[in-house]
Amino acid sequence: MKNILTFLFILISNFVFSQHEVKLCTDDKTIFTYSTQSDLNGNYWWELDGSSYQLSGNTITIDWYEFSIGQHLIEAFFVSDVGCFSEPVSILVDVLECPIPYIWIPNSFTPNSDEENDNWYPIVKNISFLEVLIFDRWGERIFFSNEINNYWNGYYQDRLCQNGVYAYLVTWKTIQGRSYTKSGHIVLIR
């Protein structure tokens, strides 16, 4: 009997899973299938966080969108047709909040060297790509950057630009892969 128990444990210890970590983002996949196997006839049952989840079959499908943020324990149990129990096989799954992208584009700045509001740049969080173009009133491009932490200091061709309104075009991509573009105006006040 002891050899059968060891044998069963080895046979179902091959836990096939698709995800250890799940992010609950709107467009991301939240349904995953987990399975285990044995060459012997018998019954499986599954527990999720210590509660019975499914009573038969060697595969379960879980929609993590229905569960809370945090760590969840999945356990698979097996009992052979002759009544021998195997050790449970388990896996921990971390359900994480989706990192929410954030962008704030200021509408003015004062590049007057007083060390307050001297540079203009979009404030971003959870953004993977950022491109900024700034144009003067005649449509000439006076600033370009495709670096997230870069800023415009109010200069063009080594000269401080005049007081006035400048147009911007900002394009960004979230860490989830969605692209956005926004245009607007900046007021430069010296």
Count: domains in the chain: 2
68 and 90 co-located in one domain: yes
Out of 74, 97, 120, a domain closes at 97
Residue 60 corresponds to which tokens in the numbers above? 């379960």
> Which residue, of 62, 97, 132, is where some domain finishes?
97
CATH number of 39's domain: 2.60.40.10
Contact assessment for residue 105 and residue 180, using Cβ atoms and an 8 Å cutoff? no
Of the candidates 61, 59, 55, 60, which has an alpha carbon nearest to the alpha carbon of residue 79? 55
**23 plus 87 within the same structural domain:** yes
Q: What is the pLDDT of residues 76-101, one digit of tens each?
A: 888 888 888 888 888 899 988 878 88
**Domain check: are 65 and 88 in the same one?**
yes
Instruction: At 126, give phi and psi (nearest 5°).
Output: 60, 40
73 by DSSP, 3-state: which? strand
CATH (domain of 159): 2.60.40
Residues 57 and 138 in one domain: no
Together in a domain, 141 and 122: yes
pLDDT band for position 19 (cuts 50, 70, 90): low
Domain boundary among 72, 97, 122: 97
For residue 190, what are the contacts with CB-CB under 8 A and spacing of at least 6? 110, 111, 112, 154, 160, 162, 163
Structural domain boundaries, residue 19: 2-97
Rounded to the nearest angstrom, the gap between the alpha carbon of residue 85 and the centroid of all alpha carbons in its chain is 39
Does the global pTM surpass 0.75?
no
Whether 76 and 46 have beta carbons less than 8 Å apart is answered as yes
Region 53-59 average pLDDT: 80
Say if residue 17 is in the same domain as residue 57: yes
